Each structure stands twice: as C-alpha cells, then as structure tokens.
Amino acid sequence: MKIIVPNLLKDNEDLIVSDVFTANLEHTNFLPTWNGTNFMYQGDFFVHSGHLYRAMENSVNKQPDLYVGDFWYDFGVWNNTTADAYNPLTPYAVGGLCYHEIGYKHYIYSSREANNTGNKPSSTVGDKWTKIGAINLYRCLDDKTNNKTERAESLWLRVKAYKADTVALIGMRGKSATVTVYDSAGTVLTTDNRASLQYKGASTWLSFFFGDFKYKTDITSPVSLGFNNEIKVEVTNTGNIARLGRLVIGKSFTIGNTKYGADSGILDFSLKERDEVFGDESLKQGNYADTHSIKVSILTARISEIKQFLTSIRGKEVLLNANNVGDYYDYLITYGFIESFKVLHEGAVMSVLSIKFEGLI
C-alpha cells in the first residue's frame, strides 16, 4: 500500500503549458453542449440554449430545459462562446453568472443579490457570491473530484511538474488514456498508453458476449520526475464526452502490503422523500463517497516512521493506492483523506496497521 501526497497543483494552475481548448481556438471556459445521444453522469456541467446546467441524476435524452428540477439544475444564462469574465462595472442580477480569475483561482460564480456591482467574487464568496466550481479547464485541478473537465471526444492538458514518482487520473470517463513525460527540452522521456479502459469482467459466456462494457475510472502511472519536467495527460472517449475528475502528480510513501479482508464500500447521500399529502415515499439518488477499512502488514521497525508520516498528512487530500497486485483491485485506488488509523504491535518483525479512509466527492 502506498499513500501519494500530491504536489500543490492548485497553487500552480498558471503553470499549465498547453491544452486542447486553446489549441483548438476554444475558450478555456468552453463547456460541452448537451445532445440527446451522450450519456450524462450526475454532476456533469453542460450548456443548452444559452443556459448552464448541472446533471442531478444520470440520464440520456433528457433535454435540460424540459427536466429542470428532475434531472437538471439550471444556473441561468451562460455565454459558452466568449465566457462571462467578471466585470466590476456590471450590475449583476440575482443568479447572474461570471467567472473570476485571480492568482490560482479560476471559478464560476453566481450572484446572491440584485445590483451586485464592484464586489470581487473571490473576496465576497458566501456573502455576495456563490462559488459554483472551477472553469472547465481547471476542474480536474480543483478541490472536488466530481467536478470534471469535459470535452466531446477527447481532452488533454500539459502541465509543469517536478519531484514526483506517480501520476494518477481519477474520476475518468474514457475509452483510452495516455500519460507522457517530457524533459526540460521537450524530449519525450516515457509514455504510458492505456489503449483500452474498457473491460467486460465477464463470469459467464452470456455476459461475455452480451454484457455491457465497463470502464476503469482511476489509474496510476509510475514516473520519475526531477525538476523542470512536463506531464501531458490525454483522455479519449470517441462518440461520447471525455471526462477527467482529478489530475494527481505527487510523491509516494510506501506503507506495506495490504492484507486480505479489506472492507470497501460507500457513504450514500441519496435522500428519501415523502409526499406530504399521501405519504408516498420516493428515493432521490444522491452522490456517494468511497470508504475503505484496511489492514496493512508493516515492518515493526517502521512503526514510528509510518505513524509520524500518517499524522503529518491528517486533514489533507491524498491518494490511497492499496492495490498491491494488479488490475483486479483498482477499487482500492481512492482520492480522499485518512479518517483514522491505529497500529497493532504484533511481533518483533511484522505488525499490523489498521486504517480507515474516505474518498472525496
């Protein structure tokens, strides 16, 4: 098992070297437009008829303006061609949208009051403005895995990186993915091409021939980065929307070997609603967070070192990679935080670390 502590990409967003949006003369805020054929996942942002929508549930062919409140949340008017940069002279109405770019912050905001003039969004968020989420290019670098950078067919971005041994793509939706490492002169050092993220996971001939494809959503790629390297990540989803929830570039700390008997589940945030007139109940599907309860075999001589490290990353976002052996245990790759841990000093040579981990949405 390894814990990867990410480099502070959120502090280095201005270090993006190039990306698919500007390379194709698109605005970095450009969001995919809704169509009736693509599968929409809960949390996705799309533009339809000049409005910004977010999917409240998974759906296909549910036109946003016809299903507001059921499948879609309507944030209001959004210009998807030029994007609406914040203007201190504009009197924003309630629900008026803009994006504000200051330092490493690149977020879309919604006005909380009428005639909202001269109130800088990043300074008055929670009072004058509500922060909706990062603009499209930077959503894979913000603080929410469920906020995904999205683009029809394919997306890629290239960022500066340093002192790292792991690159992880979390919350993907795609058929293939590639991680390429460059040196300071732009020469390719390594390429990790996952030519297919599709799999059947079939246990019978019937499911092999007629079952639906499943897709890997989280992958890690080993790298060796010193200073002044660049990383290019690509996700391709031909015929649908390519999505990337989080890009993690960081340095790993090896804990030990995950033991069999690991518990893995979810925290479900779905809601049960009751009709006030007739008392009928219905379920409203919500989001969820992955949870793990894992035992790890560790060297007794490393107890102090491991405890000190785990204590130092409390309350911080990290990547858990408890997958010791291969593709069958990718569910043990999760971005989140350590809820608690304890060590059982079991013997002179080997001991057991118990760790509880919760994923971030």
Q: Which residues of 191-220 are buried (b: 16+ CB within 10 A; e: fewer)?
A: ebebeebeeeeeeeeeeeeeeeeeebbbbb
What whole-number percentage of the chain has pLDDT above 90?
Answer: 47
Residue 319 contacts residue 251 (beta carbons within 8 Å): no
CATH of domain 144-253: 2.60.120
Cα–Cα distance for residue pair 184/135, rounded to 1 Å: 28
Choosing among 1.20.1300, 2.40.30, 3.30.1150, 3.90.1310, the CATH entry for 257-359 is 2.40.30
pLDDT at residue number 122 = 85
The pair of structure tokens assigned to 325 is 């052996």
Residue 246 contacts residue 171 (beta carbons within 8 Å): yes
C-alpha torsion sign, points 224, 162, 173, 339: positive
pLDDT digits (tens, 9 = 90+) for 302-336: 999 999 999 999 999 999 999 876 656 788 889 99
Domain locations along the chain? 25-140, 144-253, 257-359
pLDDT digits (tens, 9 = 90+) for 59-101: 888 999 999 988 999 999 988 887 788 999 999 999 999 988 7
What's the mean per-residue pLDDT of the chain?
A: 87
Rounded average pLDDT over 50-54: 92
Q: 298 to each of 201, 205, 234, 301, how far by Cα in Å?
A: 32, 41, 36, 9
Per mean pLDDT, which range of 47-56, 64-73, 191-200, 298-307 is the poorest? 191-200
pTM: 0.84
Place of tokens 């909380």: 112
pLDDT for 11 beyond 70: no
pLDDT-derived band at 353, boundaries 50, 70, 90: very high
pLDDT at residue number 103 = 65
pLDDT for 214 beyond 80: no
Residue 169 contacts residue 177 (beta carbons within 8 Å): yes
What whole-number percentage of the chain has pLDDT above 70?
Answer: 92
pLDDT for 201 beyond 70: no
DSSP letter for 282, please: E
**Local structure of 348: helix, strand or coil:** coil
Same fold? 144-253, 257-359: no
DSSP 187-232: -EEEEEEE---EE---SSHHHHHHSPPEE---EEEEEEE-SSEEEE
Element (H, E) at 308: helix 303-312
